[in-house]
Amino acid sequence: MGEETQTWEDKWCAGRRYLKLKTSRLYALESCKLISVGTKLSHSSICSSFRRNPRGGNELDQLVRLEDDLKGVVLSSNDDRWVWELESTGDFSVSSIRNLIDKKFLPNVELKTRWNKFIPIKINIHTWKIMTNSLPTRFNISCRGICIDSILCATCGKGVETTSHLFFSCSVARDVVKLITRWWMYWMTKIGILLDDWRKR
């Protein structure tokens, strides 16, 4: 019917664009900005509700374009309804908006996730978060629009706290890794010596 859809303020015409943006010069001439589609199309001419007729140039070009867009428009007898463009059915769904948000904010990782069954699941998940840059580092938090004191590394204070910096560039983190590696090698050597002694017996 078109009585609940506004000609200029709603997305309803070809290309699903606002006509007030697509044909802005004609919108400026419109005397009734909130005119409905049904009322507009019932007039003898598109220009009937304009303050004056288009005078050429951009105004005339936009009029020709608008007339072409409206040629194939046929109003049905059904009531107007909203259409959700993210679903082919036109109906709103939570999954469609969730998928849109995921595409906008989640990192695009082409590699498939492969879990190592020989190590704890927590380590698998932590490794996955490092690979996808999903850890709540100060840099990532600031990118999400959350206000924080500083994006510098809280450990060394010398670089921006990104995932890469925390695990590969931070001088303090590297020193800790060296100490852990040294401690690990020490105990592995001790265990190896004990096993050799046990086997000799």
Q: Which of these ranges, 8-17, 144-153, 182-191, has the smallest mean pLDDT?
A: 8-17
Helix (H) / strand (E) element for 59: namely helix 57-71
Cα(127)–Cα(134) distance, integer angstroms: 10
Query: Quick one: which of 178, 157, 159, 179 has its CA closest to 169?
Result: 159
Sign of torsion, CA 175 180 186 188? negative
Torsions phi, psi for 76 (to 5 deg): -90, 170
The tokens describing 151, both together, are 């994006």
Instruction: Give pLDDT, residue 193.
Output: 82
Copy the structure tokens of residue 3. Answer: 């009585």
**Is 60 exceeded by the pLDDT of residue 147?**
yes
- Of the listed ranges 3-17, 47-61, 86-100, 117-131, the one predicted with least confidence: 3-17
| Cβ within 8 Å of residue 105, ≥6 positions away | 144
Q: How confident is the model at residue 152 (pLDDT cuts 50, 70, 90)?
A: very high
* pLDDT for res 145: 84
Residue with tokens 């046990």: 198
What pLDDT is recorded for position 108? 62
